């Protein structure tokens, strides 16, 4: 279920998402997700990097690239 502005305004804490190719769906509304590598909080409005295969969010493209290389998903 995509999140709308009302869901965002009525939510706080960590969200639970299902990551797809080019989009994500909200399972449990929240204000942020945690970066799978650094543990940094990522506001949902700022979430740009994730892996549908690993079902993880990343705080930056560099972190995403490093994680994918570690998991041998890219070379």
User: What are the boundaries of each domain within the chain?
Assistant: 5-70
Q: How far apart are CA 4 and CA 40, in angstroms?
A: 23
Q: What is the pLDDT of residues 15-35, one digit of tens each?
A: 999 999 999 999 999 999 999
b/e map of 33-49 (b: 16 or more CB within 10 Å)?
bebbbeeeebebeebeb
Predicted pLDDT of residue 63? 97
- Look at the block and give the residue holding tokens 């909200």: 26
Q: What whole-number distance in Å separates Cα of residue 74 and Cα of residue 13?
A: 32
CA distance 72 to 21: 18
Report percent pLDDT > 90 for the chain.
79
| Mean per-residue pLDDT, 52-68 | 96
Global pTM value = 0.81
**pLDDT value, residue 73:** 82
**Please, what is the average pLDDT of the chain?**
89
């Amino acid at each position: 279920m995509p999140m709308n502005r009302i869901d965002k305004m009525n939510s706080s804490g960590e969200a639970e998402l299902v990551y797809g190719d080019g989009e994500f769906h909200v399972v449990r509304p929240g204000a942020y997700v945690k970066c799978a590598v650094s543990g940094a909080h990522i506001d949902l409005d700022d979430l740009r990097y994730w892996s549908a295969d690993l079902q993880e969010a990343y705080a930056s493209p560099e972190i995403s690239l490093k994680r994918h290389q570690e998991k041998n998903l890219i070379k």
